[in-house]
């Protein structure tokens, strides 16, 4: 139980006081169990249980008292983070007089720009990620890559340095399962709560609160934020398992499918052009049949017009396909369609001439044209 109303806290303290005097052995077990249930570790595995069950009881009390802090933290105000924090303040989950929004980003200017956009909201910018975590009960993280996440998590002024007992970390990035597990272990070892919560959706769904959260880890933390922060930022939240890793697995399945879809769609459009079909007409045909997808409808006309303004950068799409490919290998799953598409994305990402790594992942279309020998493709590639 993370969220405690005044009455619950009072009853809890009363219970602790009375049981401490009269029923210490029972109280220790009960409180330890309650506290230990807050973590994904079994309560007998928790280090402070092993050290002393009485200490666990005391720490349990401290945890609850700390939970009265309603500030919400957000680390990483990037393409996704900006929209997500916008939802937290516009839905009054944070940024109100009693629930400040505390933010940090490597490029500080993005925090300043965000604060300027919401002058009437209670937004505080910190100098380090550590300070954000120290100031808040719950901190969300939305960093780009495993490397970025590790740097921000493990540095001396980073996320982990700010974690103490009872702190809750929700990591929304798409990383490897091993990254999530490492963070979970480090946070829970310090008595904190961890939830992996990668998202399906892109820049616009982030801005409009239409993300889909794919969660695993602390169920207690999930229950606390499902109808709160997650609801403000998303249209659905799924909880897969108390074992961290299952959220990432789900996310990688979804994103690898999206990447292969866009690669296959791009090949279909390029082929259409090369065989003399109007690709806009083909988009219309696809959109009216059983294989229609919002991705095709949104991206198709832009791909043809060479408009690859980044909603989901190609370098991140490639990262996810590579992570999915590694995951499939480690589980011995056939994944050759994804792997072929991953190769296309990698070539696009590494192509210095095309220079599309930071553009939208739809720009894989340019690499498809570059690899095609058809007249339309040659014309398109040479017109740059
Ligand atoms: P982004 O804008 O490229 O970067 C997110 C944040 O990471 C930025 O705040 C950036 O700080 C920070 N960062 C990068 N390298 C860093 C480092 N070495 N040290 C400290 N901070 C660093 O990424 P995004 O598009 O928001 O995506 C965030 C995560 O969500 C990724 O894992 C991505 O795969 C996933 N995702 C993205 C989308 C999408 O459509 N964009 C959709 C679903 C999931 P600066 O501002 O200083 O660069």
Residue 300, CB half-sphere, CA atoms under 13 Å: how many? 23
> 8, 72, 39: which is closest to 230 by C-alpha?
72
Ligand 1 atom 27: residue of nearest CA:
144
> 148, 224, 161: which is closest to 187 by C-alpha?
161
pLDDT for the residue 382: 87
Angle between helices 6-22 and 24-36 (to 10 degrees): 140
DSSP 307-368: ----SSBHHHHHHHHHHHHHHHHHHT---HHHHHHHHHHHHHHH-TTT--TTSBGGGHHHHH
Are 199 and 214 in contact by the 8 Å Cβ rule? The answer is yes
Which residues line the pocket of ligand 1, CB cutoff 6 A? 76-81, 105-107, 110, 142-144, 148, 151-152, 173-174, 199, 201-203, 311-313, 316, 320
What global pTM score does this model have? 0.83
Are 377 and 369 in contact by the 8 Å Cβ rule? The answer is yes
Ligand 1 atom 23: residue of nearest CA:
144
Q: How far is the CA of 23 from the centre of ligand 1 (A)?
A: 51
State the closest ligand 1 atom to the C-alpha of 82, by its place in the atom list counted from 1. Answer: 26
Tens digit of each residue's pLDDT (9 = 90 or more) over 12-64: 444 444 333 333 333 322 222 233 333 333 322 333 222 222 233 333 333 43
| Strand ranges in the chain using DSSP code E only, listed in sequence order | 72-75, 101-104, 123-125, 138-141, 168-171, 193-196, 199-200, 211-217, 234-241
Q: pLDDT category, 69, cuts 50, 70, 90?
A: low
Confirm whether 251 is a catalytic residue.
yes
Is residue 118 scored above 70 in pLDDT?
yes
- Which residue of the set 130, 181, 219, 251 is catalytic? 251
* The token pair that represents 254 in the structure block: 């979804």
Place of tokens 């990447």: 259
Q: How far is the CA of 168 from the centre of ligand 1 (A)?
A: 21
- The residue-averaged pLDDT of 71-94 equals 98
- The residue-averaged pLDDT of 202-225 equals 97
Residue 313's φ and ψ, nearest 5 degrees, are -60, 140
Tens digit of each residue's pLDDT (9 = 90 or more) over 129-177: 999 999 999 999 999 999 999 999 999 999 999 999 999 999 999 999 9
Place of tokens 């006309």: 301
Fold of 72-242: Rossmann fold (3.40.50)
Tens digit of each residue's pLDDT (9 = 90 or more) over 231-268: 999 999 999 999 999 999 999 999 999 999 999 999 99
Q: pLDDT category, 384, cuts 50, 70, 90?
A: low
Pairing of strands 234-241, 101-104: unpaired
| Residue of higher predicted confidence among 278 and 383 | 278
pLDDT for the residue 276: 97
Q: What is the mean pLDDT of the chain?
A: 86
The reply to whether CATH 3.40.50.1000 applies to domain 250-382 is no
pLDDT for the residue 26: 30
Place of tokens 């190609």: 314
| Residue of higher predicted confidence among 48 and 223 | 223
Tens digit of each residue's pLDDT (9 = 90 or more) over 288-327: 999 999 999 999 999 999 999 999 999 999 999 999 999 9
Residue 289 burial by CB count (10 A; 0-12/13-18/19+): exposed, middle or buried? exposed
- The residue-averaged pLDDT of 106-121 equals 98
Is residue 351 scored above 90 in pLDDT?
yes
pLDDT for the residue 65: 32
Q: How far is the CA of 115 from the centre of ligand 1 (A)?
A: 19
Ligand 1 atom 16: residue of nearest CA:
148
Would you list the domain boundaries of the chain?
A: 6-65, 72-242, 250-382
Q: How far is the CA of 147 from the centre of ligand 1 (A)?
A: 11
Q: How far is CA 305 from CA 220, 267, 274, 280, 285, in A?
A: 47, 16, 16, 10, 18
Ligand 1 atom 18: residue of nearest CA:
148
């Amino acid at each position: 139980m993370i969220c405690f109303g005044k009455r619950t806290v009072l009853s809890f303290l009363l219970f602790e006081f009375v049981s401490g005097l009269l029923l210490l052995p029972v109280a220790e077990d009960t409180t330890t169990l309650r506290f230990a249930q807050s973590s994904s570790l079994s309560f007998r595995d928790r280090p402070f249980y092993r050290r002393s069950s009485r200490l666990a009881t005391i720490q349990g009390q401290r945890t609850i008292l700390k939970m009265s802090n309603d500030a919400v933290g957000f680390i990483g105000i990037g393409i996704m983070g900006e929209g997500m924090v916008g939802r937290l303040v516009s839905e009054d989950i944070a940024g109100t007089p009693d629930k400040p929004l505390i933010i940090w980003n490597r490029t500080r200017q993005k925090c300043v720009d965000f604060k300027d956009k919401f002058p009437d909201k209670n937004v505080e910018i910190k100098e380090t990620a550590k300070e954000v975590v120290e100031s808040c009960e719950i901190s969300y993280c939305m960093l780009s890559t495993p490397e970025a996440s590790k740097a921000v998590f493990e540095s001396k002024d980073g996320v982990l340095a700010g974690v103490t007992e009872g702190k809750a970390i929700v990591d929304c990035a798409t990383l490897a399962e091993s990254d999530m597990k490492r963070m979970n272990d480090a946070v829970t070892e310090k008595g904190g709560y961890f939830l992996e919560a990668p998202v399906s959706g892109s820049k616009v769904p982030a801005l409009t609160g239409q993300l889909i959260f794919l969660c695993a880890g602390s169920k207690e933390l999930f229950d606390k934020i499902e109808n709160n922060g997650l609801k403000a930022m998303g249209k659905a939240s799924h909880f897969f398992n108390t074992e961290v890793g299952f959220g990432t697995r789900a996310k990688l399945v979804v994103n690898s499918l999206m990447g292969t879809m866009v690669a296959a769609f791009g090949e279909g459009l390029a082929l259409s052009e090369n065989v003399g079909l109007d690709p806009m007409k083909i988009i219309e045909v696809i959109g009216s049949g059983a294989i229609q997808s919002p991705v095709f409808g949104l991206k198709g006309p832009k791909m043809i017009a060479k408009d690859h303004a980044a909603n989901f950068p190609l370098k991140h799409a490639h990262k996810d396909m590579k992570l999915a490919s590694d995951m499939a290998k480690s589980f011995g799953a056939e994944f050759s369609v994804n792997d072929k598409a991953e190769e296309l994305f990698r070539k696009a990402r590494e192509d210095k001439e095309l220079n599309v790594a930071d553009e939208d992942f739809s720009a894989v279309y340019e690499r498809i044209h570059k690899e095609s020998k058809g007249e339309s493709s040659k014309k398109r590639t040479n017109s740059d």
